[in-house]
Amino acid sequence: MKILWLDLNSSYAHSSLALPALHTQVMNDTSWEWTVVSATINENPGMIAGDICRHRPDIVAATCWLFSHEALIHILARVHAMLPDCVIALGGPEFLGDNEDFLRRNPFISCVFRGEGEEAFPQWLLAWNRPERWSDITGLCYMDAQGAYNDNGLARVLAFDRLTAPEESPLFNWGKPFVQLETTRGCFNTCAFCVSGGEKPVRTLPLDVIRQRIETIRRHGIRDIRVLDRTFNYNSRRASSLLRLFREFPGLRFHLEIHPALLSDEIKVELAQMPHGLLHLEAGIQSLRKEVLETSMRRGELSSALEGLRYLCSLANMETHADLIAGLPLYRLEEIFEDARTLAGYGAGEIQLESLKLLPGTEMRRRAAELGIRFSPLPPYEVLQTREISPDELQTARLLSRLLDGFYNAKAWQGITRRLMIRYADFLHRFLDYLTEQRVADQPLSLERRGILLYDFCKMYYPDHLTAVSLAWIEAGMSLKKQPAERVRTKHVVPPARWDILYGTYHEQLRLCKLTDERDNLCYWYGFETESQSPRPVFKAQSASEQSEV
């Protein structure tokens, strides 16, 4: 018998952890031959379906989630048309809610799994072609021969620590830039918008097991590990032990989700001792408004969260990203602008502004009408309107997200963007209006184009900051022939009698350029290596301008 796994992802960088997690539980069963077809949602569905059908599988299985949902259904409908006897089984977060409507709308889907599949899927394989025996398989949802909907509840793997690790499967994909390492299942928190909200009990892996799995990952040459732990620091003692464990693996980079309201002194000490670059933190904050967080059922005092976030952002040995969610009940547009500005003041490494999606199986989706939330019934289930934010305002929030991503989250422009956000309460509004007027607010823009837009905007509204934009432009290695470098001299530039070196070492082979800031009576000097032809300067100094010296 042949199982074909459709590994459909949103991009090349991603890979399904479900495939090796399931396969490794049954890989000793030689009665099954496993085949994998990998693709992204941007590829032609007909081509993918044709590739699947060439293998003539008995079963096609796949994980479905909100960004792959639509493409997956298009592909599988074609597969069923060509292989009508093939059994199609799906799992994933899309099926944590009521699945009857989905199965009636897509009768070519044989069954779907709700919850965790490592125990349920092997049971189903024993009866995959005997639907009359499916009623005993926990978590399985299907239509029986009489057209009645059967719902077997939710599957939970309580013996999580006794599962065979996904990395042991020969189908584990080691060709991606990062891997996911699931160290816990469940979450202590109760966030109404999260599929893990209230998922109890929280199950953990022993530290020795985690150490062995990290060592396996390192042996395969992977340097980035995304730790799947919904709230890494819910248990301070365990979190501190894990941080000490991570220090045993210099050269790796661990991505963690951390709750800033739960930073104990013990964890703070461990974080401060971490080697530079070993950690990348995602700080779940969602909103800086107490009533919004309370309505969203997120645990943790806001004052503690803000204090913790300020501490995390102050650490120079790691970068902390903070997230906001537009569309949460009681969250108003102006508050989103204000919260983004506050996060910039804290020095967040990135500010990620997302639109709320009402995911299947979440408490907030069940209470949408009560909370006054209107949302799309189709994936990705984005919120369209609440009592506090209109459809037009949600579109403004979406454009603000693009602004933050293109300017604040771009290292080249982050310093000047942060400075403008902090200094001017209306900067984000004015800059967003400007980008909209230029008809580029919703367009993909190169790093150079973004720098030119920022420079032209400051020339009109904040001329005191033109030099800062020009300095950022030069240090990003942009062309010295474009507008932001219009005040830069590149010919016949010789060092002054006295300058203060900011970085690098000067030698006569460097190609110098000079930018004069007449407002501050300062000159900035940059040196470029002539042999390497690198666009970025290797030397920077400043001096008093010739006029001020006179």
Per-residue pLDDT in tens (0 to 9) along the chain, 550 residues: 999 999 999 877 677 899 999 999 999 999 999 999 999 999 999 999 999 999 999 999 999 998 999 999 999 999 999 999 999 999 999 999 999 999 999 999 999 999 999 999 999 999 999 999 999 999 999 999 999 999 999 999 989 999 999 999 999 999 888 999 999 988 877 888 888 766 678 899 999 999 999 999 999 999 999 999 877 888 999 999 999 999 999 999 999 999 999 999 999 999 999 999 999 999 988 999 999 999 999 888 899 999 999 999 999 999 999 999 999 999 999 999 999 999 999 999 999 999 999 999 999 999 999 999 999 999 999 999 999 999 999 999 999 999 999 999 999 999 999 999 999 999 999 999 999 999 999 999 999 999 999 999 999 999 999 999 999 999 999 999 999 999 999 999 999 999 999 999 999 999 999 999 988 889 999 999 988 878 999 999 999 976 544 3
Question: 279 vs 184, 411, 414, CA distance in Å?
Answer: 18, 18, 20
List, in sequence order, every beta strand (DSSP E) within 309-442. 319-326, 350-355, 374-375, 383-385
- Please, what's the largest Cα pairwise distance for the chain? 96
Cα angle at 533 between 531 and 535, to 5 degrees?
145
- The reply to whether omega before 201 is within 30° of 0 (cis) is yes
Cα angle at 331 between 258 and 341, to 5 degrees?
65
Number of H helices, E strands in the chain: 19, 22
Q: Which residue has the tokens 């048309």?
A: 81
Q: How many CB atoms lie within 10 A of CB 441?
A: 20
Q: Which residue has the tokens 């021969």?
A: 145
Q: What is the pLDDT of residue 550?
A: 35
Report CA torsion sign: 371, 377, 380, 382. Answer: negative
The Cα 369–Cα 101 span in angstroms is: 19
Q: If 0-12 CB within 10 Å is exposed, 13-18 middle and 19+ buried, where does residue 311 land?
A: middle
User: In whole angstroms, how large is the CA radius of gyration of the chain?
Assistant: 27
Please give the single-letter amino acid code of residue 485.
A
Q: What is the pLDDT of residue 549?
A: 42
Report CA torsion sign: 86, 92, 94, 96. Answer: positive
Strands 539-544 and 522-528: antiparallel
Q: What are phi and psi of 156, to 5 degrees?
A: -130, 135
Helices (H), 184-332: 207-219, 236-246, 265-272, 290-295, 302-314
Length of the chain: 550
Question: 242 vs 10, 209, 217, 226, 247, CA distance in Å?
Answer: 30, 12, 16, 14, 9
User: Up-side HSE of residue 147: CA atoms within 13 Å toward CB?
Assistant: 2
The Cα 358–Cα 354 span in angstroms is: 12
pTM reported for the whole predicted model = 0.91
Please give the single-letter amino acid code of residue 82.
M
Q: If 0-12 CB within 10 Å is exposed, 13-18 middle and 19+ buried, where does residue 313 land?
A: buried
What is the DSSP secondary structure assignment for residue 406, as one 8-state letter? I
Q: Which residue has the tokens 């009359």?
A: 132
Q: Which residue has the tokens 């969203």?
A: 296
